[in-house]
Every structure is written in structure tokens, then in C-alpha cells.
């Protein structure tokens, strides 16, 4: 059964699994140097020039699996030796150019960068080219291609560049930790740091949840993951790992949409605060607009805050599709509520490190949130939820004009317009990943059916409205007074 | 006195919302707001017996239909 999209993910998973396997037994430091040999046995290389380089790079991945470079504040790191130093060509004419008569490429190029040789074949003068890609779009043969590095192409905030030694470098001032480069680098040379060792420690030191309880908060995008098993089996598996219980982050999403609707009416213009990479994007690139960021915690933080209120000694671990959440939980305003963050990739590694076959397990239940909280996992879900919350709160005389954006490019356009007061809208739903959280870098798989899976999971919720889902919480909070 | 109702997934599906709602009403009707604190928690680890409720540290299994009986028989006598 296919568990991952790429072999890079699989390799990362094998390292995480092995590190976790040893950590559960308290044998990690004893056997740490054996891990590369365990993962790359024999003498025949399968990925790189020789097994020795392969093993050396496994060593680097072990470091990342153990939390990475403590001196680097960014949760996304480059494994310099794994970087293949891809050529940085940008747009170039390939052999497919037939030397035609039309010269659409020349005509469309505003910089006059296209010239022709004696065989009528096109060439791009790199001193004039601005990499706009217009020529590539018009060539009838598709002969002009973008040879940009996959990491740089994936990074929509332009935080990645080529360093002096030709390896990729991340500018931490610009990076929003979305993880796009992690998923896109074909050599697996960029990776998110892992906190699985912290999670294993929380579980072990809880002594079977008797010293304190360890809660798992799962993102609603889990409904599109672990497709080889049933969601209820994944929940059982998480408990088998040693978590006390599993709570839906979607219930936090219900809290957020309810409050966000109120805040929107109060302020008149708002940008969403659910996606930590989007929030970081505004703070770093549109600081003037930062005042419009919703003051609500993210759904994960909101539900974790509630858990901590009911159980102050608990440890809360968020499990989701997101690398930026690893940055978010370290923020001062979130740190009191979320103790650690792991991805679905890492959850799979944890299952297998304990040899838990979730497909054979009985199904447990996961049902607290409403349809609207659950659809936060995909683009436009937050918008739908805020619209519903406005309706449920019987808000009148307020025109809701949402601008849902998925992917940083769409976010950028909306924010540029908002900065000039030219945006036709009063609520920007910003998701850094294309498609929303289901497009997150920490997902095991990314597929076309994911949105449908999320909607299906939404419809299965027992609670049909946000107000109903929050009723218990609201009653108990009132009861406290 | 503290009454804690499990609001985890399993108990939620078995009607913890109705239990909380009824308890809140009963507490108000009997003017016990100052004496009884109503709290929630995610999972008491006894999902089969849900809806799980504790009165201080004593465990009770309470269904929405039995909430009133539970309040009359197990809560009221203990209120000081």
C-alpha cells in the first residue's frame, strides 16, 4: 500500500522510524552511530555516488530527526551535503526549438532578450532576461523551459537562493516555514526539524498517563490521510502509542469561526489567523497590514488552550499536515498551550516504530466538532464557517465579502490590493498551501480526492451547526462563573 | 462540590451535551450555583461506561435519561 508521494518522504520516514524505535527503548544514544548502516546496508549505492555518502547523509537526517541545529531558529533546514547543486539556469531554449518563422518569443519579449543564430534558433540573452516566462508561454513547440531550481521555484516568498558554494540557502528573515521546499526538493536536501523525541519523552514520562495526561490534537486534514486504514483505526493507533485521548482541532476551528465572525463585525476588515505561515507572511512582507490580523488563536491553539484549562498539568501535542505549526507553537502566545507538534509523516513513523498495524485495530471514535470546524482543512472552509457563524449569531446589516486565497501567490495579490485599499472584500482567508491544509508539506500523500474526503468527514459530524458544537463548552464556561 | 462531565468524543456521541445541559438546569433550579462547580474534561478512560461523570472523585455512569435521578440520588444528598 502506498503510504507516501515520494521516495524522499520514504527515506525521511525510515530515519524517523529508526530514531523513534531506539528512543522508545532508551537505546538511541547507544546505537545512534549504527542507524546509517541499518538504513543503508550492503555496498551497492541506490541513491547517490556511493554508500558512504548515502550513510553520511543519513547521519544528517538523524540530526534533524532529533531536533536539528539548535542554533538555527528556523524549523526548516538545508542539509547542505544533500543539495545536488542543481544548475541555476532560469528560462532557456531547448533543442526542441525548430527555428520557426513566426518568432512569437521575440515579439512577446519586452526586454529584447531573444536573439537568433544562423540556424534561426532562438537564444536568450541572460543579461537582459528578467525570467518573466512570457516567451515560454507563447512558443508553439514548448521549446523554452524554466530551469529554475525546484526549491527556489517552490518558494513563493523568495527566501531560497544559491549560496557561495552553490548549495541552497534559506534566508530566515524571509522564510515563513510553509515547507513547500521540503516537499519539492527532489534530493530531500531541505527538511523540517522533528520533535518526535520530545513527544516520546512526554509519553514515557507520563507513566501511562498517570503522572500527567498526554493529549493528541489532530488536524481535520487527517481525514484525507492514512487512506489505507479507517480514521477510527488511526485514532485507536494514536491511543496505542500512549496518548491519553485524541481531540479534534476542528472543535478549535468552531471556536475560532464563532469568535472571528464577532471580531470581523467589530473591526470591519480582517485577515485570518489560522494559518501560521500566512500570518508570518503578513508580518514579514506586509507589516502595515499586521494590525488587521485576527486576534484569535489558531484552531489548534484554541482547543489546546481549552484542554489546558480543563487539565492544567496535561501535555498537548498537535498532529497535523503543517511544518509552520512547528514554528507557531514556539511563539510566546502559543507556547503555554501546545507542548509539541508533529506531522502526519512523523505519526506514521511513530506507528511503525512500535510496529502498530493500524489496519488490524478496532475503530475508535472522533466526534466533537461541527461540519464547519472540520472543513477548515481545505481552502474556503474558514470562509464558509465564518459565513455560517454570522448567520447563527443573527448578525444583520453587515455585508460579508470574503476573499479566500490558497497558495502564497493568491495571498500576495489580495494583500497588495488590501495595502492600497483596492481589495473588494472585508475578510481575507489566507492559506499558504495550495488547496489549504490538505496541501501541507507534512501530509503523507497529496491527491485530488483529498478535498472530497474532508467534506465527507465534515458531513459525518454529529453536530451540524457551530453553535451546537460549542454548546457544551459554553455551558461549562458559564458554569464556572 | 465539583461535577465533572466527560466531553470527549465517545461521551459526546452518547449525549454528554444533554447531560451537561440538564445538570446546569438542575443546579440553577435548586439555587446551587454557589455550591456546585460544573466542569468538563476530555476522556476519563472509561469510554464503555459513558457518559462518564465524577462528583469530586467518585465515578458515575450517567445517561441523558438518568441525569435527573443521578442528581436527586447522588448529588443532592452530598451538597452541604
User: A390 with A277, same domain?
Assistant: yes
Closest CA to A369 of A241, A460, A444, A297: A460
Which chain A residues are within 8 Å of B67, Cβ to Cβ? none
What mean pLDDT do residues A287-293 have? Answer: 98
| Rounded Cα distance, B6 and B59, in Å | 11
A461 and chain B in contact, CB less than 8 A: no
Q: What CATH code is carried by the domain that includes residue A74?
A: 3.30.70.20
Distance from CA of A46 to the nearest CA of B (A): 46
- Tell whether A166 is covered by a domain: yes
- Tell whether A201 is covered by a domain: no
Classify A322 as helix, strand or coil.
Answer: coil
pLDDT digits (tens, 9 = 90+) for A121-180: 999 998 999 889 999 999 999 999 998 899 999 999 999 999 888 899 999 999 999 999
User: A79 with A96, same domain?
Assistant: no
User: A77 with A105, same domain?
Assistant: no
User: A462 with A442, same domain?
Assistant: yes
A164 and chain B in contact, CB less than 8 A: no
B7 and chain A in contact, CB less than 8 A: yes
Best mutation target, B24, B25, B43, to test chain A (most A CBs within 10 A)? B43
Residue pair A151/A8 in contact (Cβ under 8 Å)? The answer is: no
A365 vs B13, B38, B45: nearest CB: B13
Confidence at residue A478, expressed as pLDDT on a 0 to 100 scale: 55
B9 and chain A in contact, CB less than 8 A: yes
Query: How remote is the C-alpha of A147 from its chain's centroid?
Result: 25
Share of chain A above pLDDT 70, in %: 99
Cβ–Cβ below 8 Å for B39 and A476: yes
Which chain A residues are within 8 Å of B5, Cβ to Cβ? 476
Confidence at residue A88, expressed as pLDDT on a 0 to 100 scale: 78
Taking 60 as the threshold, does the pLDDT of residue A49 lie above it? Answer: yes
Which regions of chain B are under pLDDT 70?
none
Confidence at residue A90, expressed as pLDDT on a 0 to 100 scale: 87
pLDDT digits (tens, 9 = 90+) for A190-205: 999 999 999 999 999 9
Confidence at residue A481, expressed as pLDDT on a 0 to 100 scale: 38
Residue pair A154/A180 in contact (Cβ under 8 Å)? The answer is: yes
Q: Residue A259: which pLDDT band, with cuts at 50, 70 and 90?
A: very high
What mean pLDDT do residues A353-365 have? Answer: 97
User: A80 with A28, same domain?
Assistant: no
Cβ–Cβ below 8 Å for A307 and B42: yes
> Measuring CA to CA, how many Å separate A413 from each of A1, A27, A422, A430?
40, 51, 11, 11
Give the residues across from A76 on adjacent strands: A192
Residue pair B8/B43 in contact (Cβ under 8 Å)? The answer is: yes
Which chain B residues are within 8 Å of A244, Cβ to Cβ? 43, 45
Confidence at residue A156, expressed as pLDDT on a 0 to 100 scale: 97
Classify A74 as helix, strand or coil.
Answer: coil
Cβ–Cβ below 8 Å for A245 and B16: no
Exposed/middle/buried for residue A277 (C-beta within 10 Å: 0-12, 13-18, 19+): buried
Classify A18 as helix, strand or coil.
Answer: helix
| Rounded Cα distance, A444 and A315, in Å | 25
The CA-based dihedral angle spanning residues A22, A12, A334, A386, taken in that order and rounded to the nearest 10 degrees: -130
Give the residues across from B54 on adjacent strands: B4, B59
Alpha helical stretches, state H, A90-188 = 104-108, 134-138, 150-154, 180-184
Taking 70 as the threshold, does the pLDDT of residue A381 lie above it? Answer: yes
B44 and chain A in contact, CB less than 8 A: no
Confidence at residue A370, expressed as pLDDT on a 0 to 100 scale: 96
**Domain span at residue A246?**
214-480
A340: enclosing H helix or E strand: strand A340-343
Classify A332 as helix, strand or coil.
Answer: coil
User: A58 with A160, same domain?
Assistant: no
Cβ–Cβ below 8 Å for B17 and A366: no
The CA-based dihedral angle spanning residues A297, A301, A307, A311, taken in that order and rounded to the nearest 10 degrees: -100
pLDDT digits (tens, 9 = 90+) for A389-424: 999 999 989 999 999 999 999 999 999 999 999 999
List of domains in chain B: 2-78 (3.40.30.10)
User: A230 with A341, same domain?
Assistant: yes
A222 and chain B in contact, CB less than 8 A: no
Residue pair A250/A222 in contact (Cβ under 8 Å)? The answer is: no
User: A102 with A75, same domain?
Assistant: no
B17 vs A248, A472, A478: nearest CB: A472
B73 and chain A in contact, CB less than 8 A: no
DSSP string, A211-270: SS-EEEEE-GGGGGS-TTS-HHHHHHHHHHHT-SEEEEHHHHHHHHHHHHHHHHHHHS-E
511503525: which residue's cell? Answer: A352
- Tell whether A202 is covered by a domain: no
Residue A207, all three cell numbers: 507513566
User: A129 with A177, same domain?
Assistant: no
* Tally of domains in chain A: 4
Which chain B residues are within 8 Å of A473, Cβ to Cβ? 7, 40
Distance from CA of B15 to the nearest CA of A (A): 10
User: A384 with A266, same domain?
Assistant: yes
- Tell whether A344 is covered by a domain: yes
Classify A358 as helix, strand or coil.
Answer: helix
Cβ–Cβ below 8 Å for A310 and B41: yes
End-to-end CA distance of chain A: 52
Confidence at residue A479, expressed as pLDDT on a 0 to 100 scale: 44
DSSP string, A160-181: EEE-TTSSEEE-TTT-----HH
- Tell whether A335 is covered by a domain: yes
Best mutation target, A206, A207, A255, A475, to test chain B (most B CBs within 10 A)? A475
Q: Where are the beta strands (DSSP E) in B1-80?
A: 2-6, 37-41, 52-55, 58-61
Cβ–Cβ below 8 Å for A479 and B9: no
455512569: which residue's cell? Answer: B61
B61 and chain A in contact, CB less than 8 A: no
Query: What radius of gyration do chain A's Cα atoms show?
Result: 24
Cβ–Cβ below 8 Å for B38 and A476: yes
Confidence at residue A2, expressed as pLDDT on a 0 to 100 scale: 63
User: A177 with A270, same domain?
Assistant: no
- pTM (predicted TM-score): 0.93
Distance from CA of A251 to the nearest CA of B (A): 11
Best mutation target, A365, A369, A478, to test chain B (most B CBs within 10 A)? A365
Residue pair A13/A61 in contact (Cβ under 8 Å)? The answer is: no
Residue A479, all three cell numbers: 458554569
| Rounded Cα distance, A127 and A177, in Å | 32
Closest CA to A342 of A321, A358, A314, A357: A321
What mean pLDDT do residues A251-260 have? Answer: 96
Cβ–Cβ below 8 Å for B9 and A475: no
- Tell whether A198 is covered by a domain: no
Confidence at residue A119, expressed as pLDDT on a 0 to 100 scale: 92
User: A307 with A264, same domain?
Assistant: yes
- Tell whether A81 is covered by a domain: yes
- Tell whether A200 is covered by a domain: no
Amino acid at each position: 500500500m502506498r503510504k507516501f508521494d515520494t521516495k524522499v518522504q520514504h527515506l525521511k520516514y525510515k530515519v524517523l522510524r529508526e530514531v523513534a524505535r531506539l528512543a522508545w527503548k532508551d537505546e538511541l544514544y547507544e546505537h545512534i552511530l549504527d542507524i546509517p548502516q541499518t538504513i543503508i546496508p550492503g555496498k551497492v549505492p541506490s541513491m547517490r555516488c556511493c554508500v558512504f555518502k548515502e550513510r553520511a547523509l543519513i547521519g544528517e537526517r538523524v540530526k534533524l530527526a532529533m531536533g536539528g541545529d539548535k542554533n538555527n531558529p528556523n524549523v526548516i533546514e538545508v542539509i547542505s551535503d544533500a543539495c545536488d547543486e542543481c544548475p541555476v539556469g532560469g528560462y532557456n531554449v531547448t533543442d526542441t526549438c525548430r527555428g520557426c518563422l513566426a518568432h512569437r518569443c521575440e515579439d512577446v519579449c519586452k526586454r529584447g532578450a531573444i536573439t537568433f543564430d544562423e540556424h534561426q534558433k532562438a537564444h536568450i540573452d541572460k543579461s537582459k532576461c528578467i525570467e518573466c516566462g512570457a516567451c515560454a508561454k507563447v512558443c508553439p513547440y514548448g521549446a523554452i523551459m524554466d530551469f529554475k531550481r525546484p526549491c527556489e521555484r517552490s518558494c513563493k516568498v523568495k527566501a531560497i537562493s544559491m549560496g557561495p558554494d552553490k548549495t541552497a540557502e534559506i534566508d530566515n528573515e524571509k522564510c515563513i516555514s510553509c515547507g513547500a521546499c521540503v516537499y519539492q526538493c527532489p534530493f530531500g536536501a531541505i527538511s523540517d526539524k522533528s520533535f518526535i523525541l520530545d513527544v516520546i519523552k512526554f509519553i514515557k514520562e507520563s507513566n501511562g498517563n498517570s503522572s500527567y495526561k498526554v493529549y493528541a490534537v489532530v488536524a481535520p486534514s487527517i481525514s484525507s490521510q492514512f487512506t489505507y486504514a479507517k480514521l477510527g483505526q488511526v485514532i485507536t493507533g494514536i491511543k496505542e502509542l500512549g496518548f491519553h485521548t485524541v481531540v479534534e482541532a476542528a472543535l478549535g476551528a468552531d471556536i475560532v469561526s464563532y469568535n472571528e465572525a464577532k471580531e470581523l463585525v467589530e473591526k470591519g476588515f480582517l485577515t485570518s489567523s489560522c494559518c501560521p505561515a500566512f500570518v508570518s507572511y503578513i508580518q514579514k512582507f506586509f507589516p502595515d497590514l499586521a494590525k488587521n490580523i485576527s486576534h484569535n488563536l489558531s484552531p489548534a491553539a484554541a482547543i489546546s488552550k481549552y484542554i489546558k484549562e480543563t487539565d492544567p498539568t496535561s501535555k498537548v501535542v498537535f498532529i497535523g499536515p503543517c511544518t509552520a505549526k512547528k514554528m507557531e507553537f514556539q511563539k510566546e502566545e502559543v507556547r503555554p498551550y501546545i507542548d509539541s507538534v508533529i506531522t502526519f509523516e512523523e505519526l506514521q513513523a511513530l506507528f511503525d516504530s512500535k510496529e502498530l498495524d493500524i489496519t488490524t485495530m478496532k475503530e475508535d471514535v472522533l466526534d466533537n466538532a461541527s461540519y464547519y470546524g472540520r472543513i477548515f482543512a481545505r481552502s474556503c472552509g474558514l470562509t464558509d464557517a465564518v459565513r455560517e457563524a454570522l448567520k447563527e449569531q443573527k448578525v444583520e446589516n453587515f455585508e460579508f465579502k470574503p476573499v479566500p486565497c490558497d497558495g502564497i501567490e493568491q495571498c500576495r495579490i489580495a494583500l497588495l490590493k488590501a495595502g492600497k485599499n483596492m481589495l473588494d472584500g472585508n475578510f481575507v482567508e489566507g492559506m499558504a498551501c495550495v488547496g489549504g491544509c490538505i496541501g501541507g508539506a507534512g501530509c503523507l500523500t497529496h491527491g485530488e480526492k483529498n478535498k472530497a474526503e474532508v467534506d465527507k468527514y465534515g458531513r459525518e459530524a454529529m453536530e451540524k451547526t457551530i453553535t451546537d458544537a460549542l454548546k457544551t463548552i459554553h455551558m461549562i464556561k458559564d458554569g464556572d462563573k | 462540590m465539583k461535577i465533572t462531565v466527560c466531553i470527549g468524543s465517545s461521551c459526546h456521541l452518547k449525549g454528554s451535551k444533554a447531560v451537561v445541559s440538564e445538570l446546569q438546569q438542575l443546579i440553577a433550579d435548586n439555587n446551587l450555583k454557589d455550591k456546585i462547580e460544573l466542569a468538563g474534561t476530555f476522556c476519563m478512560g472509561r469510554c464503555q461506561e459513558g457518559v462518564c461523570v465524577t462528583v469530586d472523585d467518585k465515578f458515575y455512569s450517567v445517561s441523558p435519561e438518568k441525569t435527573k435521578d443521578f442528581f436527586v440520588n447522588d448529588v443532592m444528598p452530598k451538597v452541604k
